[in-house]
Amino acid sequence: MNWSLDSYKNYKALQQPNYENKEELENVINELKSYPPLIFAMEANELKNELAAVCKGDAFLLQGGDCAESFNDFSANNIRDMFKLFLQMALVLQFGGSKKVVKIARMAGQFAKPRSSDFENKDGISLPSYRGDIINDCEFCESARVPKAKKMLKAYMQSSATLNLLRAFSVGGLADLAQVHKWNLGFVRRADIDDKYALLTQRLTEALDFFKACGITSLNDARLHETKIYTSHEALLLPYEEALTRIDSLSGAYYDCSAHMLWIGERTRGLDDAHVHFLSGVKNPIGVKIGPNASASDILALADKLNPQDEAGRLNIIIRMGASKIKNLENIFKELSKEQRNIIYSIDPMHGNTQSVNGYKTRKFDDILDEVKNFWHIARANNIIPGGVHFEMTGQNVTECLGGSVGVSESDLARRYETQCDPRLNADQALELAFLIAELMKQK
Ligand code: PEP
Ligand code: CO
């Protein structure tokens, strides 16, 4: 294959910033190249093995996190609350669906954002769009919107500290099943969700008591005491990804060591473009977002390029069509079911369901649920395994998405609208969805 670390430069790269100071860019990239990798190649292989189980239908993928991580909201509490939300959702899905849940966070590197428009207009002023904290600043003023290469160094440092805390929480005791009561988040949730969750933790406690009587406890079995949470982000900013891509000394292969899993966005998945070319050369598990205009042959061509050996666990096709267009999936799955390919199909019910209400970018809980349900039914009807879900969510009690049994209304939007990019499910809404998806998983 005609691939080298910087061969992507010969291809068209969409959604890239234009750095004015080329010397600073080069210095930053050289500095990043001298920094340690954030993940280890064998971890990416381990994730690929876990995803191979998802591909066969023996496990389920839960991927989620902020739309965009931010430098301002960087805190131990936010990381802890997202981690707790993951544990709660995974518990609900694993208990309800009787399948191991593979957890991949949109964390520790989810900083670069593709934009539908290069410019943002406000009050008659037009400025370059905000492209995520790794590129420029969110504030609506000219100097803030200039891309600055040095921001990549800060993104690396924040990613490394975030990953460090995630690793510590995973093995340090917070994920211990005996600690399930400590996973609750600090705010009062809706009684019906609370009751369901309390019932589940009670059943878990009974199961743990039984295991204890058999001599199996979290003190002597790490499986009850520890968990694994992998990291992921959109591999959008190619110079950053290049700088963190390293040769694994054991296999001699390249791995993008900025995260365990990387994905390509809906806007940059052109078959002959730079993003697809770049990720075709690294061995990590890869995702590709697929919008409503794609065809089955587009997906197969991406699979040929990104997964020529048809390795199970390598390729995750993340469908994001929107509730009103998910019916387009019918024909696609009909075609794809004729091919016995090792592809994971998961659903991102967020990015096709964005709308504007009172000047706020928002999403309706019912649209999100509707898209998930239709994805499920279309997959099942065509003998395709609904492999996982991909959410934008937060452990905080924000009011960015409308509805859910917690009942966020249009007038609530202003109260806690904190996202720097797309609207996220709050912890209640995310947990409610987990219960509803567990029901879908139970259906034969
Ligand atoms: C995202 O996941 O934040 C995103 C921009 O997705 P998509 O490429 O599907 O629009
Ligand atoms: Co988003």
pLDDT digits (tens, 9 = 90+) for 312-355: 999 999 999 999 999 999 999 999 999 989 999 999 999 999 99
Give the model's pLDDT for residue 1: 63
Give the model's pLDDT for residue 20: 96
For residue 419, the ligand closest to its alpha carbon is: 2
* Contact (Cβ atoms closer than 8 angstroms) between residue 366 and residue 433: no
What percent of the chain stands above pLDDT 90? 94
Helix axes 76-97, 191-213, angle to 10 degrees: 70
Give the model's pLDDT for residue 185: 82
Instruction: Calculate the average pLDDT of the chain.
Output: 96
For residue 112, the ligand closest to its alpha carbon is: 1
Domains within the chain, CATH numbers bracketed: 38-114+158-175+226-442 (3.20.20.70)
Q: 366-400: per-residue pLDDT in tens?
A: 999 999 999 999 999 999 999 999 999 999 999 99
Extract the residue ranges of the chain whose pLDDT is less than 70.
1, 186-189
Which of 320, 347, 421 maximizes ligand 1 atoms within 8 Å of its Cβ, making it the mutation to test the pocket?
320
320 close to ligand 1 (CB < 6 Angstrom): yes
Instruction: Return d(Cα 105, Cα 380) in angstroms, integer.
Output: 26
Which residues lie near ion ligand 2 (Cβ < 5 Å)? 67, 422
Give the model's pLDDT for residue 190: 74
For residue 14, the ligand closest to its alpha carbon is: 1
- Neighbouring C-beta atoms of residue 388, cutoff 10 Å: 24
Nearest ligand 1 atom to alpha carbon 267: 8
Ligand 1 mean position to 265 CA, how many Å? Answer: 5
Nearest ligand 1 atom to alpha carbon 265: 8
